[in-house]
Structure 1
Amino acid sequence: MKGKAKIANLYLVLVFFVLYAPIFYLMYYSFNSGGSMRNFEGFTWEYYLNVFKDTRLIIIALNTLVIALLSATISTILGIFGALAIMYVRKMQTKQTLQTLNNVLIVSPDVIIGASFLIMFTMIGIKLGFTSVLLSHIAFSVPIVVIMVLPKLQEMSTSLIDAAKDLGATNWDVLSKVILPYITPGVFAGFFMALTYSLDDFAVTFFVTGNGFSTLSVEIYSRARQGISLEINALSTLIFLITLVLVLGYYFVNQRNAKPSGQGVRKS
């Protein structure tokens, strides 16, 4: 058993090394004063300063942040009501069908989703740009929020709702004072995940963005095609660090969510 555990740990270390080595390689050379990704000649902040001096890049970064915040907020609201709708469907077959359809959207290839949105926006006459990117990000973020909120709804005892109604609570009171406080950890987790997905998305955004509007992922791709520039390394490093902070925030929300149930088990 010990031998198998060592092999499993070694395998995990190897997998994480393969995944993270290119990222740390990119980050390492973002500080190279030599201007290349071959020989590290000295430490410099020049490329990070260039990123912050690039007005166009700052505008694109603000576009990306606005899209991410708006899409995460709207998709969180829609995702909460979507999870509630699935939860209170009485027929089990219908409930399972809705959950399957929701999960299919999560695992579907981004290229297919992006191409579908492009065709749809072209057909209905929506101009490619801010609106098309925002709508597409909301669409692929809602299923993520649903899958984060739904388990919390399933954990909640129906006796809480019944007790609130027996005490004279209206449907709005039940939603705002009973259900929402209980599922808050799932809501925050869904929001952080939606925000992270929006910031990182390239494939879908590449299809639905138009002239005069871009996001950081599309801009990095465009600049990378023009040749090696360590400003790309610096920009990618900043995006990675921001994403890391968001993921850590999601992790701590999950930990906070797990503590009450863990304490309850120990008391019993």
Structure 2
Amino acid sequence: MVKKIKWANSYLWLVFILLYLPIFFLIVYSFNSGDVMQGWEGFSFKHYAELFADTRIIEIVVSTLLIALLSSLIASVIGTAGALYIYNLKYALAKNIFLSLNNILLVSPDVIIGASFLILFTVMGFALGFTSVLLSHIAFSIPIVVLMVLPRLQEMNQSLVAAAKDLGANNWQMLSRVILPVISPGILAGFFMAFTYSLDDFAVTFFVTGNGFTTLSVEIYSRARQGVSLEINALSAMMFMVSLLLVLAYYMITTRTGKNKKRGTRLVLPASEGL
């Protein structure tokens, strides 16, 4: 048993090394004073200085963050509403159909989704640009939110809803004071997942961008075709740090929420026992 655990730990460490070693080299070489990744020439911040002096890339970063934030917020609202609708369906067949349609979007290749949106926007005569990218990101983010929120609804204690109804709460009061607080961790997880998916999406965005508007992933791809510059390393290193901060923020929020729930449970239990 001990040998199996050691082998499992060794395998886990090997996987982590293979995953993070390229990122480590990317970050290290972003501080290289040379212009290419063909040898270490000394420590320097010049590529970060070039990055912040590049007004075009700064505008693209702001646009990418704006697209990710707006799409994840709108997708969180629509996805939560969709999860509530699927959960409240009475017929199992209808529920399975909607779940299957939702899962199909999750497993469909991004190239197919991007090409489909391109055809749709072209047929409708819709100009490609900020709005087309935003709509596309909302569309592929909604199934992610549904997938995060629906298990929380299924785990919810139905006695809470029944108690709210017995106390005379209307539908809005039940939703805002009972259901949403219970499923808020799922909504938060869906928001962060949608944000990260939107932030690094390339395939869908590549099809629906146009009229001078682009996102970070498409811009990096365009620049990499002309030759890998260490300015891209600096930009990628900063985006990795942003992703890491998002993960830490999500971990801190969920940990704090869990602690608050435990404290609330401890405060309620003695009173209930006394009754």
Q: TM-score, normalised by structure 1?
A: 0.93
The one-letter amino acid paired with 1:47 is H
Which residue in the other structure is 2:6 paired with?
6
Where do residues 42-61 of structure 1 align in structure 2 (5 Å cutoff)? 42-61=42-61
Q: Give the deviation of 1:211 after TM superposition.
A: 3.0
**In 1: Cα distance, 2:262 partner to 2:94 partner:** 30
Cα 1:262–1:88, aligned 2, differ >3 Å: closer, same or farther?
farther
- Structure 2 counterpart of 1:117: 117
Structure 1 residues 148 and 255: CA distance shift in structure 2, 3 A: farther
Name the aligned partner's letter for residue 133 of structure 1: V
The alpha-carbon deviation at position 254 of structure 1 amounts to 4.2
Give, as a single letter, the amino acid of the residue that structure 2 aligns with 1:175.
L
Aligned twin of 1:169: 169
How far, CA to CA, are the matches of 2:112 and 2:264 in structure 1? 44
Native 8 Å contact 1:188 1:253 kept in 2: no
Q: Cα 1:253–1:171, aligned 2, differ >3 Å: closer, same or farther?
A: same
Alignment-mate amino acid for residue 24 of structure 2: F
Structure 2: how far apart are the matches of 1:262 and 1:234? 43
Map 1:137-176 onto structure 2 (within 5 A): 137-176=137-176
Alpha-carbon separation, structure 2, partners of 1:245 and 1:148? 21
Which residue of structure 1 aligns with residue 97 of structure 2?
A: 97
Matched, 1:222 2:216: no
Contact 1:185 1:256 in 2 (8 A): no
Question: In the TM superposition, what is the alpha-carbon distance from 1:107 to its structure 2 partner?
Answer: 2.0
Q: Which one-letter code corresponds to 1:103 in the other structure? A: N
Task: Give the Cα–Cα distance (whole angstroms) in 2 for the partners of residues 101 and 244 of structure 1.
Answer: 32
Extract unaligned runs of 5+ from structure 1. none
Say if 1:132 and 1:209, in contact at 8 Å, map to a contact too: yes
Deviation at 1:232, TM superposition (A): 0.5
2:76 maps to: 76
Rounded Cα–Cα distance in structure 2 between residues aligned with 1:240 and 1:60: 16
- Matched to 1:152, the amino acid is R
Q: CA deviation at 1:38?
A: 2.0
- Between the aligned partners of 1:160 and 1:68, the Cα distance in structure 2 is 34
Q: Render the CA deviation track for 1:226-252: whole Å, top value 9, x for unaligned.
A: 112110000111111111211233334
Name the structure 2 match of 1:207: 207
Quote how far apart the aligned CAs of 1:103 are. 2.0
What code does the residue aligned with 1:104 have?
A: I
Give the paired residue count. Answer: 266
Q: Which residue in 2 is equivalent to 1:181?
A: 181
- How far off its partner does 1:261 sit? 7.4
Tell me how large the CA RMSD over aligned residues is.
Answer: 2.0
Contact kept in structure 2, 1:189 and 1:254, CA below 8 Å: no
Give the C-alpha shift of residue 36 in structure 1.
Answer: 2.0
Q: Distance in 2 between matches of 1:177 and 1:263?
A: 16
The AA in structure 1 aligned to 2:163 is A
Percent of aligned positions with the same letter in both sequences? 63
Equivalent AA in structure 1 for residue 137 of structure 2: H
3-state SS of 2:90 partner: coil
For residues 257 and 139 of structure 1, what CA distance do their matches in structure 2 show? Answer: 29
Structure 2 Cα separation of the partners of residues 52 and 248 of structure 1: 25
Question: Which moved further from structure 2: 5-14 or 173-182?
Answer: 5-14
